[in-house]
Structure 1
Amino acid sequence: MSRFRSVWSRVAPWAAQNADGAIALVLAVVVGVLGIMPDDMFGKPPEGDKVQQQLVSAATLVILALVATALLRDRVRQAPVEETITSGALADLPARLARLDEIDGLVTGTRKALDALQLVRVLGSRQEIAQAHAEARKDTTRWSFRGGTGTYLRAVTLPECVAAARRVKRHLTVRVEIVDPTNAEVCETYAHYRRSLSDAPDGTGETWTTDRVRKESYATILAAFWYRQRYGLLDIGVGLSATMTTFRWDLSATRLLMTVEDPNRAMTALAGTFFYENCDTELRLSFEQARRVPLEKYKKVPLSDEPTVEEVQDLFERIGVPLPRSYNEHDVVDIARKALRALNPYAG
């Protein structure tokens, strides 16, 4: 008995809440039972058949009425929900989507503004600086340099950019501005500046003297001609400046790097930022004001894979940047070595 009460206590609330469905279910069972019962249960034919058919028809009508009642009740219950959805959330959906578009535009504009405000990022180690240079060289189609003598340019930047461009047969534009090796005053000023920061040899194992500044600049000019003769898609220009700068600018198609004499400190900015665009303009105008080396004469002064002393001397005579008369064969060989086998001054 207790078990029956337990079952009934669980079934009764459901039956009360779904009375119409429960009654329809019971009647459906009754109709099914009536349909399979023997005809003589309701009397002799044909009266028994008639009674059975009347019971089945009546029960069927009651079931249909209950089903209709249940459907109407569900529709009445759903009407407020549908009205709320239709007149509320769905009606406001176009406005909400438009608002989301406005917010997305606002976020995009804010992000661009923040990127522009963050003019530069400071790099604080050799590894970071080397990585930034590698990212700048990757797939670039142009490179602008302005600095002292272009030692790192000859050791790493120029050979790697030319090699990458040659692999995919890509055009490469390079603009280089260095101190004028024929200007003794600027060479001495640059050497004095470098010595004032450190008397110790740099990564090449050499200390900075006026003569070294002169040779390094001559080597950059020689390297420009040598690479121009060996890669037809290289458009390279060299400008000679009568003034020195304490910064070294390296600008590719994707980023700008500004390095100083401290090998663990540098600044970088991505293309498209305010700082990048203004530095690009600065480098262009500075290059236009520098004394131009006639690189267009590269066909008239052929250089061997290992340039000879006579080839190097002839080159500088023909382009109007003559070597000092005091230079002997050893000095010319030293310039050729620096041009094609330059040591990375920031290695180690």
Structure 2
Amino acid sequence: MGRVGAALRRIAPWAAQNADGAIALGLAITVGILGIMPDEIFGKDGQEIQNQLVSAATLVILALVATALLRDRLRQAPVEATITSGALSELPVRLARLEQIETLVTGTRRALDELQLVRVLASPLEIAQAHSDARAGTTRWSFKGGTGTFLRAVTLPECVAAARKDKRHLTVRIEIIDPTNNEVCEAYAHYRRSLADAPDVTGETWTPDRVRKESYATILAAFWHRQRYGLLDIGVGLSSTMTTFRWDLSAARVIMTIEDPNRAMTALAGTFYYESCDTELRLSLEQARRVPLESYKLVPLSDEPTVEEVQELFRGVELPLPRTYNDRDIVDITRKALRAKDPYELPQRT
């Protein structure tokens, strides 16, 4: 009896909260019992009485079920009203905020990814490897800097040779110091001497005259390569201002170097830094004095251009050499144009 009492005590609170359901359940059990009881129990009209009891109990059960459903609906109505008027009405605002947060996270992730791709190069070997990777298979090259010594010595010859081997088009854009502008030549020479007054790896010191010759040599090299490779589209601009940076931009990456051979920066194509440098080089070249390289057929240059050919070429493109230049000076320009020494050449390992 104790166990039965304990069970009833546990069931009582539930039955009180769900009286209609409890009554319906009890009636359902009762109807089930009546249905299986023998007819004789209810007398001679037991079948009829049994059927009436089952039918009446069934109606009561259906009424109780309907009452329970209505009660549950009444209970849910305030909840639905609260959800509809509150949370659901604020849902568009919350979704908009989530979209803003997602956009912010996406933009931040993209910015961090691009910053990670701006890499500092900390040795001549890393810088040389970056230039090699940039030249590999490129169809374009843009340069902006001082006089383009490394461009003449390595970049231009190797890019043209690779393009000729693959029989593909190559676009080159170059911006260097204007050799006819004495002020910028003197400023650049003073800057280079202030960094190192001793001769560099070429064995020369930086003077205004050397700056002029180096720039003339780059122009001559551009004409010489253009005459020898028909798929080379090359342009040269002459700047009246100097820069302490050098930009080398290919289809794959950009490399920014300074006079320190152990420091440089590089970024891959598609990054914010790369696209910004590309825009800078294009706009800067548009403001520079253009060399009429479309006149490359004006004076055919020999494999080893003569003094007369060089003089005639620069007169024809309205960049006459200084009158003080003699044959030795012109030979020096030709040597720098076609056999320039790599100023960043690494020593050979033994």
TM-score normalised according to structure 1 size:
0.68
TM-superposition CA deviations, 1:131-158 (whole Å, max 9, x none): 0000000000000000000000000000
| 1:207 corresponding residue in structure 2 | 205
| 1:91 corresponding residue in structure 2 | none
Aligned mate of 1:303, from 301, 317, 337: 301
Q: Give the distance between the partners of 1:157 and 1:206, measured in 2 at CA.
A: 21
| 1:39 corresponding residue in structure 2 | none
1:111 positional shift: 5.9
| 2:261 corresponding residue in structure 1 | 263
Q: Give the distance between the partners of 2:174 and 2:324, measured in 1 at CA.
A: 27
Aligned mate of 1:272, from 245, 270, 274: 270
Q: Give the distance between the partners of 2:337 and 2:112, measured in 1 at CA.
A: 42
1:246 positional shift: 0.2
8 A contact 1:119–1:274 mirrored in 2: no
Alignment partner of 2:230: what SS?
A: coil
Q: Give the distance between the partners of 2:300 and 2:207, measured in 1 at CA.
A: 30
Q: Provide the alpha-carbon RMSD of the alignment.
A: 1.7
| 1:247 corresponding residue in structure 2 | 245
Count how many residue pairs are aligned between Structure 1 and Structure 2. Answer: 244
Sequence identity (%) = 81
Q: Aligned letter for 2:174?
A: V
Aligned mate of 2:126, from 118, 125, 128: 128
Q: Give the distance between the partners of 1:119 and 1:340, measured in 2 at CA.
A: 35
Q: Give the distance between the partners of 1:188 and 1:182, measured in 2 at CA.
A: 11
| 2:182 corresponding residue in structure 1 | 184
- Which piece of structure 1 moves more, 119-128 or 312-321? 119-128
Q: Give the distance between the partners of 1:117 and 1:312, measured in 2 at CA.
A: 46
TM-superposition CA deviations, 1:141-200 (whole Å, max 9, x none): 000000000000000000000000000001000000000000000000000000000012
Alignment partner of 2:174: what SS?
A: strand
| 1:294 corresponding residue in structure 2 | 292
Q: Aligned letter for 1:276?
A: Y
Alignment partner of 2:296: what SS?
A: helix
| 2:313 corresponding residue in structure 1 | 315
**1:145-184 pair list within 5 angstroms:** 145-184=143-182
Q: Give the distance between the partners of 1:148 and 1:332, measured in 2 at CA.
A: 20
1:107 positional shift: 11
Q: Give the distance between the partners of 2:173 and 2:151, measured in 1 at CA.
A: 11
TM-superposition CA deviations, 1:78-137 (whole Å, max 9, x none): xxxxxxxxxxxxxxxxxxxxxxxxxxxx99987644322336211000000000000000
Unaligned runs of 5+ residues in structure 2 are 1-103
8 A contact 1:301–1:315 mirrored in 2: yes
**1:92-131 pair list within 5 angstroms:** 112-118=110-116, 120-131=118-129
1:346 and 2:337 aligned = no
Q: Aligned pair in 2 of structure 1 residues 111, 169: CA closer, same or farther (>3 Å)?
A: farther
Q: Aligned letter for 1:206?
A: E
Q: Give the distance between the partners of 1:290 and 1:118, measured in 2 at CA.
A: 33
| 2:195 corresponding residue in structure 1 | 197
Alignment partner of 1:245: what SS?
A: coil
8 A contact 1:186–1:243 mirrored in 2: yes
Q: Give the distance between the partners of 2:311 and 2:111, measured in 1 at CA.
A: 53
Structure 1's consecutive aligned runs of 4 or more residues displaced over 3 angstroms after TM superposition are 106-113
Q: Give the distance between the partners of 1:341 and 1:128, measured in 2 at CA.
A: 24
